[in-house]
């Protein structure tokens, strides 16, 4: 049965409207007030149906996690018995072990927080490493993982037929393979050695790329340094063009100019995070998971 109401915050009204329209459900905005000291006050609808959905994509996540904490607890007191979180981008998933003594394992901590608040979590291409399922990271009764790779592959097939798909590092292999299989694209991945957040070394795959249209495909782009480094190497090796397709367009700081200066021609992303590069909507796929609950 379709949930009765989708709750969202003002900055995600457009995304909520797309999902709600595709699911055939109403949506309502959570009112938010910030006190002079920075604390937040939220106001939800005065009464809620038994099954509620909260939309919050977790780019720039720290304050949004507080919003989720307040909204979920308030929803329970207002009549919601079953809560579903739709987080198209799910933050704090990359650190699943302590890399040095004393480090907080953020995936376990945030995953447990969300599990204490929600009965179900729906997300798109979570950045998981040493765990194989979202349920291991976020132990809720129901998890749904969607992918932007098939829809990005459809766009690439229209815009760059016959393109060579390349992952900027080994971690992108699963998404590159999924996109390539959909339209029979040739594909490969680069190897990456990271020396810091903004310093990486890229080794290109051993295949002839001269004269080829290349699309770098990945789940997330943040600083842009890995994509830029890969693009520079590919163009130096004779690629005819390099474009980028990503599920999550974080693109922090000077990522945009960095990509253009590296020679990247076009950037396409899904609307999991609102960005000028958005070219593919995940609304229908998300709505389908809600109407099947």
The DSSP element (H or E) to which 242 belongs, if any, is strand 241-249
The closest of 71, 84, 83 to 41, measured between CA atoms, is 71
Q: Which residues contact 236 (CB under 8 A, 6 or more apart)?
A: none
Count of C-beta atoms within a 10 Å radius of residue 193: 10
Residue 222 to residue 127: CA distance in whole angstroms: 12
> To which H or E segment does residue 111 belong?
helix 106-117
Q: How far apart are the C-alpha atoms of 286 and 144, rounded to whole Å?
A: 9
Whose CA is closest to 227, among 208, 205, 209, 202? 202
Angle at 155 between CA 61 and CA 270, to 5 degrees: 10
**Which one of the listed residues 187, 192, 225, 248 is annotated catalytic?**
192
- DSSP of 186-205: EEEE-EEEEEETTEEEEE--
41 is annotated as an active-site residue: no
Q: Nearest 5°: phi and psi at 87?
A: -120, 85
Residue position matching structure tokens 């109403």? 26
3-class state of residue 171 by DSSP: helix
| Residues designated catalytic | 192
């Amino acid at each position: 049965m379709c949930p009765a109401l989708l709750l969202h915050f003002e900055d995600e009204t457009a995304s909520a409207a797309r999902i709600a329209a595709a699911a055939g459900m109403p949506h309502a905005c959570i009112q938010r007030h910030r006190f002079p000291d920075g604390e937040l006050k939220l106001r939800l609808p005065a009464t809620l149906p038994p099954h509620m959905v909260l939309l919050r994509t977790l780019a720039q996540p720290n304050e949004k996690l507080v919003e989720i904490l307040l909204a979920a607890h308030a929803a329970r007191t207002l009549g919601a018995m079953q809560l579903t979180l739709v987080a198209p981008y799910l933050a704090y998933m990359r650190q699943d072990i302590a890399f040095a003594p004393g480090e907080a394992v953020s995936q376990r901590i945030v995953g447990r927080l969300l599990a204490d608040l929600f009965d179900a979590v729906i997300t798109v291409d979570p950045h998981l490493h040493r765990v194989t399922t979202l349920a291991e990271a976020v132990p809720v009764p129901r998890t749904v993982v969607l992918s932007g790779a098939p829809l990005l592959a459809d766009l690439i097939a229209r815009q760059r037929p016959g393109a060579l798909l390349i992952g900027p590092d080994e971690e992108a292999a699963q998404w590159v393979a999924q996109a390539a299989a959909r339209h029979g694209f040739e594909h490969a991945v680069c190897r990456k050695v990271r020396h810091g957040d903004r310093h990486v070394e890229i080794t290109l795959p051993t295949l002839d790329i001269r004269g080829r249209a290349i699309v770098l495909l990945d789940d997330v782009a943040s600083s842009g340094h890995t994509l830029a480094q890969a693009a520079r190497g590919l163009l130096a090796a004779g690629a005819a063009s390099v474009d980028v397709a990503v599920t999550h367009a974080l693109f922090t700081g000077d990522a945009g100019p960095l990509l253009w200066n590296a020679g990247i021609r076009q950037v396409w992303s899904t609307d999991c995070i609102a960005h000028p590069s958005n070219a593919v909507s995940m609304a229908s796929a998300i709505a389908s998971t809600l109407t099947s609950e």
